[in-house]
Amino acid sequence: TVNPMNYHTEVEMFKSLVSDYLRLLGDKAYTALHIGVGVLSSMGANPPEAVAERLQILKDAKLPGAMLFNKINTYTDDYCAVIKSIAE
Got the DSSP string for 4-31?
-EE--SSHHHHHHHHHHHHHHHGGGHHH
Quote the percentage of the chain above a pLDDT of 70: 100
pLDDT higher than threshold 90 for residue 58: yes
The whole-model pTM stands at 0.92
For 26, left (φ over 0), alpha (ψ -120 to 50), or beta? left
Q: Which tens digits make up the pLDDT trace of 11-51?
A: 999 999 999 999 999 999 999 999 999 999 998 999 999 99
Give the chain's mean pLDDT: 94
| CA angle in degrees (0–180, nearest 5) for 32-71-59 | 35
